[in-house]
A and B are shown apart, each in its own frame.
Chain A
């Protein structure tokens, strides 16, 4: 059962091949037996899962099943879940039980999905290796000496280890696409504003976007159908027409114009990874696409701009964690200043504290213009690169990450090396564009991802291109070694 895709599970549940309760118990059982190897879950919500599964079975029996009725999924622990601890991977929120649901969580509930639990992540989504979680590092099912990527490493590991058919995730600078790449999955970051941020604990508000982590493009389309919505509670959520993202999956991509940015094949790229990417693009040519080289001239400025903007926003977004109304509070604060400094000093991990301080610096008197304002200007230049490129092409393709998964500790003491891990993914967040990573082969027996970047709200086009590739290839069906 655990090797079935969501599309197949929906069929199986509909045909009564198995019940949601059977399916859910199967997954709960796998999590209990196997997650010790991966540490992908922070909380397993067995009671809720079984209750939801039983309710789903009734609806299935009554023939009134919504789209995802009875399908188990896992939520990244950044999405608030009413009555279920939501930690954001941090000691700060280790005891936090939200009295409300994120809109994404509500959407999946309304569509009948079953929540298996909350999956691990880098603390406050800050990291590219899932090593910053208060709940410990997540292991890559392809090689448990290696990182799964981050920050949605728990989402990726859980799906890759077949401990969830799919998971929600979030992407601020590559946090869906890079772990998808490192774990051999399909991960979609939608257009900024496509998915509601209500109840999704903010890291950098103008960059954060929720999206699905799945095994196939078809599953990503099914998941996005539930995830995407217009939400008046999120001022930055866009009231853009919602489409059925599965409707155009089977459209031909003959004539699709693909742009390959020369800047994405610079010296930092692992040569074997480059080969896999080139091969994947050649496959697209076989499918009738037209490939042309393009230039995104400000690519090299994306990481520097991001590491001003994201820390600046996070420095303010994380000020609410002060030990007063919820969350961690230090023992016996001797005065108000001590309450703040120790609650935050003890409640946050090193990477989070580093980014808060960098952000405070970039916004402080005398530095605002040189850092924050400058980064905002560069952000416009980066967006303009894409706007210009999409005059000529339909989809941009290149690598998702510079190399396959690296070993634990390889970059954790060098923040800058870690930041450069997202060199190919960050620009799309700055521009607000949708991006997708799909598996395109192995290097050293570890997966490599091809990144597809689309124009604003062109998710259907990206999913169509990805699905056509997956019809023609079988990289997405490869399973990590040792998975039962």
Chain B
């Protein structure tokens, strides 16, 4: 049995959260009717000319600073020539030899808790293409150019990843960085981040890289993971059966979990890059870059450290909460309001996250706000409700039934904490279950503790689950022990 090593490099397209296109003043808002946000420049009407968006440069510089990269003080746009209906000019304006972001690195955390540094080769600014809609218009495709000209940074990694897990960790970390910087909305389902994965395999211990394939346009972490696993398996099988990997572009289908070669992208791959004569070199000075550096928002690693320090969270919990800027914000708002970081952390990572995942929602779309969650946690803390009841309340909050207090009130879920009331019920249960009492009295000390739990069922039933479990325990224990 040969032992194989996987080598993975990523090219990540990140849509920048600018208001307008990279070369025109048309809006980049998502979801507009087709071609309503494609202006004369985006449509490549004759005689139109590009003027670059300063904010796109600012965002790219922020990314460069976040990954500790050299910033390209003189970057140059080039034309990459190819014909495609979603590319109106017949060339993509991009950067090649003089990109805005030079070599940098990103630290990822692995499952075993260790960290690994992934090198970034460079990141460059470029324009996005439009979309071909394949619904049938009498055998034709429809072209929507709203997306054409949306600013992208393409982040190109070195082939430093050795497994799909590492690749996903890297991708998640990039997501975490760009959303923390606020330079990308991170909405994967809207294509705000798309991954091309370069995969090759080689015998463990060998230096030379195998022939790689590129699987294009993966827009979820899950698809990326599956596509890599599938491709690694395919390549190993191919080689072990005496075949050879062919350098090619592949397309992964997330629904069928299959991939195929994209031969149409193969032919005539001669892009004839040359400097765009409609644009001049972009020079950024130290003052500009320093000013951006000084306003850089908190990055995920720093935030994680702060959560450990300030909120007393474990490294793991802090890492989970700090990764996504919106989640971190949610957690911090809830914590601030309820004053209990640990409970807030548990709830955000637990119920909130589970419900969001279930409905494939981002935290920004959570029906339960951070303030509402804090209101619920406050009722747990002051013993108004138990943890168990709290989940019931959360469910109702999720369904839009109102704040925690209103739901507790409306549904009469308030915990029974009246000592006299509880003593009465405990007495009734003891009186009504003589056999259980006999059994308890006859047991040894060790077993008594366990058997005491048997009384909880009838007590909770009698109180419709609203008895404060701690108080019941205290009262029951005292009364039983008094009978010894």
Q: Which positions in A face B, CB cutoff 8 Å?
A: 79-80, 86, 88, 93, 96, 98-100, 102, 197-202, 204-206, 232-236, 312-313, 315-316, 319-322, 324-326, 336, 340, 360, 363-365, 368, 372
Contacts and interface: CB of A to CB of B under 8 A. Distances in A.
A301 B249 CA distance: 42
| Across the A-B interface, the 7 shortest Cβ-Cβ residue pairs | A319-B90, A205-B277, A363-B272, A206-B277, A320-B44, A199-B47, A201-B46
Contacts of A99: 40, 45
B230 interface: no
Given A233-B51, A235-B280, A320 B272 contact: no
A198 B46 CA distance: 9
B277 A320 contact: no
A443 to B, nearest CB: 37
A335 to B, nearest CB: 10
Nearest to A323: B85
Contacts of A98: 45-47
B45 A326 contact: yes
Contacts of A360: 81, 272
A236 B46 contact: no
B90 A320 contact: yes
Nearest to B80: A316
Q: Which of B51, B273, B277 has the most CB of A within 10 A?
A: B277
A317 to B, nearest CB: 8
A206 B275 CA distance: 11
Given A235-B279, A312-B274, A88 B49 contact: no
Given A102-B47, A198-B49, A235-B280, A340 B274 contact: no
B47 A202 contact: yes
B438 interface: no
A342 to B, nearest CB: 13
Contact of A368 (B40, B90, B274, B279): B274
A313 B40 contact: no
Contact of A363 (B44, B46, B81, B277): B81
Contacts of A205: 277-278
Given A319-B83, A325-B43, A233 B49 contact: yes
Nearest to A80: B47
A204 B277 contact: yes
Nearest to B141: A336
B50 interface: yes
B88 interface: yes
Interface in B302-331: none
Contacts of A232: 51
Interface of B: 40, 43-52, 79, 81, 83, 85, 88-91, 143, 270, 272-274, 277-280
A483 B33 CA distance: 57
A236 B270 contact: no
Given A322-B83, A324-B143, A86 B277 contact: no
B49 A324 contact: no
A79 B47 CA distance: 8
A340 B49 contact: no
Contacts of B85: 322, 324, 336
Contacts of A234: 49
Contacts of B274: 312, 316, 363, 368, 372
Contacts of A321: 46
Contacts of B91: 316, 319
A105 B228 CA distance: 56
B2 to A, nearest CB: 36
A313 B274 CA distance: 9
Contacts of A200: 47
A201 B47 contact: yes
A79 B79 CA distance: 24
A364 B81 CA distance: 10
Contacts of A201: 46-47
Nearest to B35: A325
Contact of A235 (B83, B90, B143, B278): B278
Contacts of A324: 85, 88, 143
Contacts of B270: 364-365
Nearest to A318: B90
B138 to A, nearest CB: 13
A322 B84 CA distance: 9
Contacts of A79: 47
Contacts of B47: 79-80, 98, 100, 102, 197-202
Given A316-B274, A325-B88, A363-B272, A96 B46 contact: yes
A221 B55 CA distance: 40
Contacts of A365: 270, 272
B40 A316 contact: no
Contacts of B79: 316
B260 to A, nearest CB: 19
Nearest to B274: A363
Contacts of A93: 46
Contacts of B89: 316, 319-320
Contacts of B40: 99-100
B44 A236 contact: no
Nearest to A326: B45
A88 B280 contact: no
A235 to B, nearest CB: 5
25 contacts: A86-B46, A93-B46, A100-B40, A100-B47, A198-B47, A198-B49, A201-B46, A202-B46, A204-B277, A205-B277, A205-B278, A235-B278, A235-B279, A236-B277, A316-B91, A316-B272, A319-B81, A319-B90, A319-B91, A325-B43, A326-B43, A336-B85, A363-B273, A365-B272, A368-B272
